[in-house]
Structure 1
Amino acid sequence: MLCIRGIVLPEREERVFLIDGGVLRAGGPPGGLSGRDVEMVVDGGWLLPGLVDVHTHPGTTDPRVPFDEGMLRRQLTEHRDAGVLAVRTPGTARRMPGWVTDDPELPRVTSAGRWLATPGRFIPGFGRDVSEAELVRAAVEEATASSGWCKVIGDWAADEPALPLPLLTSVVEAVHAAGGKVAVHCQTAEGTRNAVLAGADSLEHGMHLDPALLDRMAARGTAFVPTLSVFAAGMDRMRAREPGVRRDLWLAGWDGMLDNVRAAHEAGVTVLAGTDSFPCGTVAGEMEWLVRAGLPAHAALGAASWTARAWLGLPGLVDGAPADLVAYATDPTEDPAVLNHPSRIVLRGRVVR
């Protein structure tokens, strides 16, 4: 039987757990067990219930490259080896294969099925192309065939119309009636506004988000996944382009994003960490960008760990929870760089590092 001891975040309390059949049991070894029956795998340090990337697309890195199950496994393993023990995939080129859920070596995956794109609003053939008349039915199908989520492309080109608000509202209502949730890709002012007004469960990117909508998002529980690190990586390349409507709108959106992320947190919106980039396993970098945006380190780490887990319906480090945890030598809220150097990773009760 395995035993762990350390300071648990976010509570900042020292706790001792046994790992019994992949489940955490609070307290030390019972009296009937000797030291030879118990292996101490973590003895001190700081314990997190696993990092989380809520916006990642393993399985393909390029629209010209077909979805590849071998790549999917490798990229999910990259997440795991970085201490990312749960991911949400808001849109993939194919529905997530069943073996992903059953594989004890891989992070827990919440899938949103295939991207749902209406004409002119995505890369043709990369997701599931549907007409506007088919969108509501397709959204319910993807949500019920996946982990309960679907992903809708709410806008695409910066100077072209977003998905109409009445249609997006109908999608959200139908998916909610089926017990599912809706993630919306939005990078334009119109697309982001429509996603909020339609009652989407999460805004993916949320560029050009109107701060006047933040109170509405907080009241309805709409999460904000700004994917700052992927925008930051493309900023210099975009600035080097010739001036034009799309370039200028993109840069204007980026220039306001950090302020919007801070304002969203201050308004009580759930801000979460998602990378939308490669290599996989880099959510620690997204946390650093959330700190740059003005989130307190504790909140930014929560966005990449316990807050994201709770949002996905996963427990933290409590009695009876799945034994998923990452240990660090120092407090990651004081030293975020330590997130890149976990001292121990335990997934489903098994030590993987």
Structure 2
Amino acid sequence: MIMELNMFQDLFKTPLHALHIEMGGKMIPFANHEMPVQYALGVRKEHIHCRKHAGLFDVSHMGQLRLHGVNAAKSLETLVPVDIIDLPIGKQRYALFTNKQGGVMDDFMVTNLGDHLFLVVNAAFKEQDIAHLRANLLGEVELEVIEDHALLALQGPEAAKVLASMNPAVAGMFFMDAAMLDLIGIECLVSRSGYTGEDGYEISVPADRANELARALLANVAVEWIGLAARNSLRLECGLCRYGHDIDTSTTPVEASLIWALSKVRCADGERSGGFPGAKIILEQVTTKNVSRKRVGLVGFRGTIARDGAILFNADDKEVGVVTSGTFGPTIGYPIAMGYISTPLATRGTIVFAEVRNKKLAMTVEKIPLVSQRYHRG
């Protein structure tokens, strides 16, 4: 009991902490917070429920920020290889902070709400990102750290139907749309996005009303609480990176197969090309496609899971890469992973071998995502 108390000492709690305990959530330390890793339903059933119906996630540990000022978009654009200036009002975009070596410092979501930009950054790197922004924002741009809001994610094929029962306007939103909407009398920022590969929404809600909204969503028979473990397997099946595992300061966006996240206006010839940290390295890789390794999906043949850090070998027992994320894929029914391997081997069907407990586990290189993403693009 003393060890358990020490484990949670000095950890932050989300506004929904008491509800997780009430609902039987198994709590663990995660990104400086006490978070539910699973519930009584169990990880596999939670995963499948989200794929078939609707899962509710507490992601209040993430950092929520606002950038105010007429130069907010121009200033943020100097830190990312992404088009922020022309991001339409009511639209959200995936973005990357890069460093001088072309590595990824963090990934985040940015939304244009007209009078300000709204950012959601990773929990474990929230303080780093805040410091980075404060040190590098140009002009009269004000950074506001939002402390009084929780963040919920409702994901799955029935998410739209569930949320539309609270406000029909959500049904007319498309992937990466965002709007201020009333949900059961609570003003919330709702975006049609998420981290599972499924259609769904993320909802920024005042902390003092988060419990009320969560209970109202859970009252729908289609909705179940989903913990961190199933969130991880869901995002891994759909090829979504986890910062600190699949991308970090040593990986460039091109190595990470994230060229799609680099805006053309920032990479093609023109006055807004480059101008972000590591631009020379990244743009050269975009042009030449010349990288020594690439991020790929991996599927195992047996029940053993290759976890992050497992070394990958070719048929000649030569080291060719490393696993960065690994778990069991309930949708696929096999162990799955993501990792980096030598570019010549980064083709679908290549057999590599992950070293797990001094044994070589055969895995097949597969195209990412391993399970098709089902975003509502209209």
Instruction: Normalising by structure 2, report the TM-score.
Output: 0.23
The one of the two structures with greater contact order (alpha-carbon pairs below 8 A, sep at least 6) is: 1
Structure with bigger helix share is 1
Instruction: Normalising by structure 1, report the TM-score.
Output: 0.25
Structure with bigger strand share is 2
